[in-house]
Amino acid sequence: MGKSKRREALGIFYLFCLALFYLGLLNSCSTTDVILGPVTKTDLSKSISAATKVVINTYEGAAAGNYARGSRAILIEAVTLAQTVYASKTSTQADLDNATKDLDAAVAAYKAQVIVEIDPQNLVGQWTFDQIAVALAGVTAHDYSLSKNDGVLKAGHSYWGGGVPSIALDRYGVDNRALHFNKGANIEIPYSASLNPSVISIALWVKIDVYDPVFNNQYLVSMNRKYGYHLNFMDTQKVNLELSTAENPGVPVVGSNSAQIAQGNWVHLVVTFGRGHMTFYVNGVQDYDLAIPGNIIQLSPGTNLVFGQDLPSSLYSYNAADPHYVSDGGFLSGALDEIRIYKSILTADQITSIYNLEKP
């Protein structure tokens, strides 16, 4: 368009604008009051598409690569707001541009909430149970650590009732994110030297079923109840760690936390052993420390690790003289979630960080 044509068009615009102004239908006469040409929604469309893919392909949780609890809802809200601006027939180009910037900022803020694992090089097992849609014998319990020590859901020994783990509500009240164990229901993980370290930290969430009197010998984590290590809930309402040391094999070393653990409530437990100490933490706070020397014995041959029962079901014996005599064992009646095993001794700060990350 030539200069004369452009001046003519602007003259007509101002005459039209003045007419509207005097009629009270317009507050001012500025070229910024009218959008010359259609708005462009391309950038916002691309941002909405990209943000939607992020929502679909990411998950909240405690494993590395997951995102902090509650962060996904904020991003979904930002996508919804952007979609509203995109769909509105009255949105200006400024509205669309601002919505694009806001959505891109929301995606960046969400990605900053990605979970960075604590001491990942020493994490030898992390089982969150988040991926188990249906709890059946034979279903895989995925290990999110670098060691890839996947487990399998198993039926308990018939002596205990042959139970199988079932889906349970987690500590957030979300279904399909925790497992309930009873009647010997268990998860069995093939033996690995990585799961039989000389020093160890075990962290988990547990909710013991309410019973009166309290059941004895409720095994949470066990690698050979007599010669390896195991963590179990006692009728004292305390948790015991029992293990055999390389320095004094066959002689059990036992310690327990000091405070009773309430039944029917989710509790975060951590126990560490090594460098002369066995230390218990409850809900992120040190509960008790014992001076115990030694290193965990390396089993040969190894025994598969079990959650919810003291031995793999196939090892039990009805012979009272057998070290695997079934009547000497026990099983968990309660729920487990977010089990971690480290081949290192976690510091108090690291344990508090895990608790703060995973607490409701």
- End of a domain among 93, 116, 139? 116
pLDDT score of 173 more than 90: yes
pLDDT digits (tens, 9 = 90+) for 218-245: 999 999 998 999 999 999 999 999 999 9
pLDDT, residue 192, reads 97
Do 249 and 226 form a contact (C-beta atoms < 8 A)? no
pLDDT score of 138 more than 80: yes
- End of a domain among 101, 116, 131? 116
Residues 176 and 238 grouped into a single domain? yes
Residues 5 and 91 grouped into a single domain? no
Do 101 and 115 form a contact (C-beta atoms < 8 A)? no
Residues 288 and 224 grouped into a single domain? yes
Place 37 in a pLDDT band, splitting at 50, 70 and 90. low
Residues 305 and 331 grouped into a single domain? yes
Here the CATH number for the domain that contains residue 203 is 2.60.120.200
Residues 280 and 181 grouped into a single domain? yes
pLDDT digits (tens, 9 = 90+) for 301-330: 999 999 999 999 999 999 999 999 999 999
Do 127 and 148 form a contact (C-beta atoms < 8 A)? no
Residues 204 and 339 grouped into a single domain? yes
Residues 172 and 75 grouped into a single domain? no
Residues 16 and 159 grouped into a single domain? no
pLDDT score of 27 more than 90: no
Q: What is the DSSP letter of 214?
A: P
- End of a domain among 58, 85, 116? 116
Here the CATH number for the domain that contains residue 57 is 1.20.1270.90
Checking phi first, is residue 25 left (phi over 0); if not, alpha (psi -120 to 50) or beta? alpha
Distance CA 60, CA 73 (A): 10
Q: Which amino acid is at 50?
A: A
pLDDT, residue 38, reads 81
pLDDT digits (tens, 9 = 90+) for 65-117: 899 989 999 999 999 999 999 999 999 999 999 999 999 999 999 999 999 88
Domain carrying residue 46: 38-116
Place 59 in a pLDDT band, splitting at 50, 70 and 90. confident
pLDDT, residue 32, reads 41
pLDDT score of 289 more than 90: yes
Distance CA 175, CA 168 (A): 6
Residues 236 and 294 grouped into a single domain? yes
Give the E-state strand segments of the chain in sequence order. Answer: 123-127, 140-141, 151-154, 166-168, 178-181, 186-189, 200-208, 218-223, 229-233, 239-244, 252-256, 267-274, 277-282, 285-291, 305-307, 334-342
pLDDT score of 18 more than 80: no
Place 131 in a pLDDT band, splitting at 50, 70 and 90. confident
% the chain with pLDDT above 90: 83
Q: Which residues contact residue 270 at a Cβ distance below 8 angstroms, ignoring those fewer than 6 apart?
A: 201, 202, 203, 204, 280, 281, 346, 351, 354
| Statement: the pTM of the whole predicted model exceeds 0.75 | yes
Query: Can you tell me the mean pLDDT for 338-359?
Result: 97
pLDDT score of 63 more than 90: no
Q: Number of structural domains, the chain?
A: 3
Q: Which residues contact residue 203 at a Cβ distance below 8 angstroms, ignoring those fewer than 6 apart?
A: 268, 269, 270, 338, 339, 340, 341, 342, 346, 351, 354
